[in-house]
Amino acid sequence: MKFGIVTFPGSNCDDDAYLAVTEALGATAERLWHKDHDLRGADVIILPGGFSYGDYLRSGAIARFSPIMREVVEHARRGGPVLGICNGFQILCESGLLPGALLRNRQLQFVCTTVVLRVESRDTMFTNQYREGQLLRIPVAHGDGRYTIDDSGLARLEDAHQVVFRYVDGAGNASPEANPNGSLDNIAGIVNERGNVMGMMPHPERVVTELLGGRDGLGVFESILARVAA
Amino acid sequence: MGATPRAGDPIVTPALIAEHGLTPEEYDRLVRMLGRTPTFTELGIVSALWSEHCSYKHSRPILRTLPTRAPWVLQGPGENAGVIAVGGGLAVAFKIESHNHPSAVEPYQGAATGVGGILRDVFTMGARPIAMLNSLRFGSLDSARVRYLFAGVVRGIGDYGNCVGIPTVAGDIMFDPAYEGNPLVNAMCVGVMREDELITAKAQGVGNTIMAVGARTGRDGIHGASFASEDLSHESDAKRPRVQVGDPFTEKLLLEASLELIRSGHIVAIQDMGAAGLTSSSAEMAARGDVGVSIDVSRMPVREEGMTPYEILLSESQERMLVVALRGHEAAVRGILAKWDLEAEVIGEVIAEPVYRVTEGSHVVAEFPGSRLVTDCPIYTPEARESTEVQRKRAVDVQAIAERPEEADLAWTLRELLSAPTIASKHWVYRQYDQSVRSSTIVGPGPADAAVIHLRGTRRALAVKTDCNGRYVYLEPRVGGQIAVAEAARNVACTGARPMAITNCLNFGNPKRPEVYFSFREAVGGMGDACTALGTPVTGGNVSFYNENPMGAVYPTPTIGMVGLIDDLAHVTRAVFTTPGQSILLLGVPREELGASEYLARVHGIVAGAPPRCDLAAERRLIDALLDAIRAGHVASAHDCSEGGLAVAIAESCMISRDAACGAEIDLTAWNDVSDRALLFGETQGRIVVSTDVPERVLEAAGRHGVPAATIGVVRPADAGLTIRLATRRLHSPVSALADAYHGAIPAIMSRVASAVLDDDLLPAGN
């Protein structure tokens, strides 16, 4: 099985995702260029963090029109796994592969800090190697990370257990203080109804070795490997 | 042949000459060089190249005295950035530069474009940027204008670096009324490459092609270099249009395209079009290569119609590069740029004839003989005389200053210092910067004395830090210059790194004033003393004069950017106490030194007294001893004593990591010959607080190097609080109260900001 990591011109976490998958996980990965229409046989697509096309308009708003995204959307419609991290999450929302939207952080400032995430659902192809309710320490780094969705959309997410990660405090409570950006219901990551597309604002690819502050992010990639390779 | 005026050019008059910042003597020099009256275009070119910012005309003779060599220095001063070898065939390029003037009038764009410029300086050497640092100085945060500048600068730095995707990991930030109205914004970039990828900005190869690469040229930033070469005044706000506008997305494209271009072998030289734009980049490249160049400005890709040669030459539009391509490889260069959706246009060539020539089509609009345009710029050594006011302040007997009644509680004083913005946690700043992108940040801002960045694919890491206490330099420039280097060296050593080399950013007032020039000469001298003693040569830097406003000059601030090398990842050391029961040691000794301290400034509102002495031989021994102990695995934490002295250093080691705080029980009764205030809050140099499981081993290492050292206490759990016993008094405080003071100070002040910059949102804040 093979990961495919997309590089948009303004991607800046593509190297990190590539290294996490190849070095820390030991899997194989292909770099995918935004101008191409070729997924190079990748089984799992990662849309990495960054500023895809500058994001002067609205984060991810232009990326959805890029050539590679046509293939990514096709891949997702066929049930292929897609993981969007940070800017990747924004692109997935803009592309309609995930419901809701990511707005400017409530405090109107970029925020980079290590947050605590609670695993809300381990019944996904992205989280099956975690325990339900497990607390993870993973960094966020974004200006537009405030997840929002209308009431009925939120109800559907909750009913279908599509909320995968929430921002919580050290004791595991989804408190307002633990919410770094004002996301609705402290939502940090969601999957689509079918369960093959996940978006999350925090950066699991940055915490895959003890040297860089722990391995809490590795489970996301291990989960994919476990499910897709099985 | 020679240049002739264009139709419509203004006549060169004494008024026009003065407007261009040239003195009558400088103008005469220009006429002698040309053997005729200059054209308007030539006047513009010379105005930029002979501006202080580009020519270093008041600083060169002094800068020449600095040590610049070591076996590991691959590229010293004179290039876009310095480069050192770090082993295993890897090299590190690094440089610091100021963007003070633009940031004073337009903080957001001023700071953002400062980051952009220093990034380009590093990647034009062939290095991939891996870390950014910022050394910032502001007036008092009690001023609304200062809070606006502070918020805008931080936001500008963050939005630019975050978008390009380079982690901002360290720096230093201080606040003092001396910087009111004239903040200092010094940005440093560190990049890594293989030694064989090093490329310079030396034009060579007659017949090779000169190409403009990246963004198009517009009318923004014209005369930015000259603007940065004069005092700020009430009219400075009117010069906001001279501040450039940054586009970090284009910068990211240019970064990738440039590195690809450099590795492709199609080019022989590359240089950022920074200050004074096309003019300085082309003239400097020609001078370095000792060749002639001919440039046709009509071929330059422009943003708007009707730009004159003068405007095209002096525009400081951002995100542009000048490249010398091998003849016949132009299409290949265009291909690489096109991949990144950028343009590359042929605008000239390297010629055998020793001239610097600018044409507009076939019309020669400027022509200078040889490389004299750069090499023959005027050099000044102004009068130097120490200010009598400084002499008077230095002579103040600070021990005679009575304690305030509140100081009866030593914990009150400690909390006052911990909540001083200069000392307090800068988390409010750093959380706006992406610190961990590129997945190499082993230690980011806060928990150690320097940031530690992994050199991927190796067991090695870099430790990086900026430092300078301008108050010391103000009160005694030579000592202040020494301390700036020594402290930076100590800081990287505390993380387990051998200090390797420095870059510097010399922020001073108007050099034509004797007291400013005196402080410049002495501070640079002190810096040189320390670099020689500590074996850390200067690999480059930048001089920023004219940091003055109607209220006077800023403190002389020679900011040091230090790079250290950690040989093995196992040596990475932080500044925080981790394990109750471990011993706390002090390397170095406290002395009766209270002058120039943060204590006097914060608690008494007094800037006076002599700064602490700096014994450079002792500093070297201290670093050697510490590194010995760290490499042997004997050190659990190491933290340098700086602003706020020993008590602040110990308190910080207890609670910088708020989630994992510790207490401590300290006994300083052995130093009953030092006053309580000096013992706790004096800023005696050459001291490091260490925690360890094996105190005897650390004492042994210190002894081997002749470093005085003593066990002063033990780490306790956080709920035991911090206790410091003196001969007759005792300081005790709950750790949480110290943490509240330290971590809460800046957020509390900044929550009062009704930030004007929020409406000024031109760069992406995106993800």
Residues B542 and B600: beta-carbon distance below 8 Å: no
Express as a percent the part of chain B with pLDDT over 90.
88
Q: Which residues pair with A198 in a beta bridge?
A: A83, A191
The CA distance from B272 to B119, in Å, is 10
Count of helix runs (H) and strand runs (E) in chain A: 5, 11
Residues of A in contact with B252 (CB under 8 A): 9-10, 12, 51
Residues of B in contact with A146 (CB under 8 A): none
The tens digit of pLDDT for each residue in B274-300 reads: 888 999 999 989 988 989 999 999 999
Place of tokens 């995702």: A17
Q: How far is B529 from chain A (nearest CA, A)?
A: 37
The tens digit of pLDDT for each residue in B485-539 reads: 999 999 999 999 999 999 999 999 999 999 999 999 999 999 999 999 999 999 9
Residues 6+ apart with CB under 8 A from B225: B48, B51, B53, B54, B275, B276, B280, B316
> Quick check: A211 and B252 CB within 8 A?
no
Residues 6+ apart with CB under 8 A from A39: A4, A32, A45, A68, A71, A72, A75
> Quick check: A10 and B252 CB within 8 A?
yes
Tell whether the model's pLDDT for residue B35 goes beyond 90.
yes
Q: Is A205 a catalytic residue?
A: yes
Residues B172 and B188: beta-carbon distance below 8 Å: no
Q: How far is B632 from chain A (nearest CA, A)?
A: 20
How large is the average pLDDT for residues A106-117?
97
Query: Measured between CB atoms, does A48 come within 8 Å of chain B?
Result: no
How large is the average pLDDT for residues B327-349?
97
Query: Measured between CB atoms, does A104 come within 8 Å of chain B?
Result: yes
The tens digit of pLDDT for each residue in B370-420 reads: 777 887 889 999 999 999 999 999 999 999 999 999 999 999 999 999 999
Query: Measured between CB atoms, does A195 come within 8 Å of chain B?
Result: no
The tens digit of pLDDT for each residue in B677-716 reads: 999 999 999 999 999 999 999 999 999 999 999 999 999 9
User: Collapsing DSSP states into helix, strand and coil, what is residue B42?
Assistant: helix
> Quick check: A55 and B165 CB within 8 A?
no
Chain B contact residues (CB < 8 Å to A): 155, 158-159, 162-165, 247-250, 252-253, 256, 340-341, 430-442, 454, 456, 569, 659, 758, 763-767
The CA distance from B43 to B23, in Å, is 12
Please report, as a single letter, which amino acid is at residue B449: D
Residues of B in contact with A212 (CB under 8 A): 436, 439-442, 454
Residues of A in contact with B441 (CB under 8 A): 212
Residues 6+ apart with CB under 8 A from B388: none
- Which of A13, A75, A86, A222 is catalytic? The answer is A86
Q: How far is A42 from chain B (nearest CA, A)?
A: 23
Structure confidence at residue B229 (pLDDT) = 67
User: Collapsing DSSP states into helix, strand and coil, what is residue A165?
Assistant: strand
User: Collapsing DSSP states into helix, strand and coil, what is residue B450?
Assistant: coil
- Which of B20, B53, B639, B743 is catalytic? The answer is B53
The tens digit of pLDDT for each residue in A148-186 reads: 999 999 999 999 999 999 999 999 999 999 999 999 999
The tens digit of pLDDT for each residue in B57-116 reads: 999 999 999 999 999 999 999 999 999 999 999 999 999 999 999 999 999 999 999 999
> What is B248-308 written as a DSSP string?
HHHHHHHHHHHHHHHHHT-EEEEEE--TTHHHHHHHHHHHHHT-EEEEEGGGS-BSSTT--
Read off the pLDDT band of B763 (50, 70, 90): very low
* Of A47, A77, A49, A44, the residue nearest A64 (C-alpha): A47
Structure confidence at residue B241 (pLDDT) = 66
How large is the average pLDDT for residues A13-20?
98
Angle between helices B410-418 and B735-750 (to 10 degrees): 40
Structure confidence at residue B640 (pLDDT) = 98
How large is the average pLDDT for residues A33-53?
96
The tens digit of pLDDT for each residue in B439-482 reads: 999 999 999 999 999 999 999 999 999 999 999 999 999 999 99
pTM recorded for the entire structure: 0.96
Average pLDDT score over chain A: 97
Tell whether the model's pLDDT for residue B754 goes beyond 60.
no
Angle of CA points B360, B362, B363, to nearest 5°: 60
Residues of B in contact with A5 (CB under 8 A): none
Nearest CA in chain A to B152: A109
Q: Is B99 a catalytic residue?
A: yes
Q: Is B53 a catalytic residue?
A: yes
Q: What's the N-to-C CA distance of chain B in angstroms?
A: 56
The tens digit of pLDDT for each residue in B562-583 reads: 999 999 999 999 999 999 999 9
DSSP state of B240: G
Q: What is the ipTM for the molecules in this complex?
A: 0.97
The CA distance from B514 to B485, in Å, is 25
The CA distance from B532 to B523, in Å, is 14
Tell whether the model's pLDDT for residue B228 goes beyond 70.
no
Residues of B in contact with A201 (CB under 8 A): 767
Tell whether the model's pLDDT for residue B765 goes beyond 50.
no
The tens digit of pLDDT for each residue in A177-222 reads: 999 999 999 999 999 999 999 999 999 999 999 999 999 999 999 9
User: Collapsing DSSP states into helix, strand and coil, what is residue B433?
Assistant: coil
C-alpha dihedral sign at A161, A165, A170, A173: negative
Residues 6+ apart with CB under 8 A from B526: B477, B478, B479, B480, B481, B482, B483, B484, B485, B614
Query: Measured between CB atoms, does A143 come within 8 Å of chain B?
Result: yes
Residue B396 has a CB neighbour count (10 Å cut-off) of 17
Nearest CA in chain A to B659: A170
The tens digit of pLDDT for each residue in B578-637 reads: 999 999 999 999 999 999 999 999 999 999 999 999 999 999 999 999 999 999 999 999
User: Collapsing DSSP states into helix, strand and coil, what is residue A124?
Assistant: coil
Nearest CB partner across the interface for A212, out of B159, B441, B765: B441
Residues of B in contact with A61 (CB under 8 A): none
Q: Choose the weakest-confidence range: A93-97, B33-37, B218-222, B285-289.
A: B218-222
Please report, as a single letter, which amino acid is at residue B82: G
Structure tokens at B469: 């206490």
Nearest CB partner across the interface for B439, out of A51, A110, A205: A205
